[in-house]
Amino acid sequence: MEEQGSSPAVVSVKLPDGSTLEVPKNSTVFDVAKRIGPGLAKAALAGRIDGKLCDLSTPITKDCSLELVTWKDEAGREVFRHTSAH
């Protein structure tokens, strides 16, 4: 049983098209990509939570805006090159 004043178990994620998904708190960026569709999950290289670039394994802990970054995005190509350099 949740205590009063504790944070919600669900967070709202606003997508670039204006739609909103309700997901369990601490879902990862990749979890959201899978929920949108398997093709996007496969293509996603990173995410942007409230404009800040992040890893696909980053947990979503509060209401936010989320953009998934793919190879089509310059940021996606930069992430890929950086990861490949290691």
Is 76 a residue whose pLDDT tops 60?
no
- The maximal CA–CA distance of the chain, rounded, in angstroms, is 48
* Beta carbons of 46 and 75 less than 8 angstroms apart: yes
Is 2 a residue whose pLDDT tops 60?
no
Split at pLDDT 50, 70, 90, the class of 80 is: low
Range of the domain at 34: 10-84
Is 26 a residue whose pLDDT tops 70?
yes
- Inside any domain, residue 28: yes
* Beta carbons of 60 and 25 less than 8 angstroms apart: yes
**42 SS3 class:** helix
User: What whole-number distance in Å separates Cα of residue 74 and Cα of residue 71?
Assistant: 7
* Beta carbons of 69 and 75 less than 8 angstroms apart: yes
- Inside any domain, residue 24: yes
Structural domain count, the chain? 1
- Inside any domain, residue 4: no
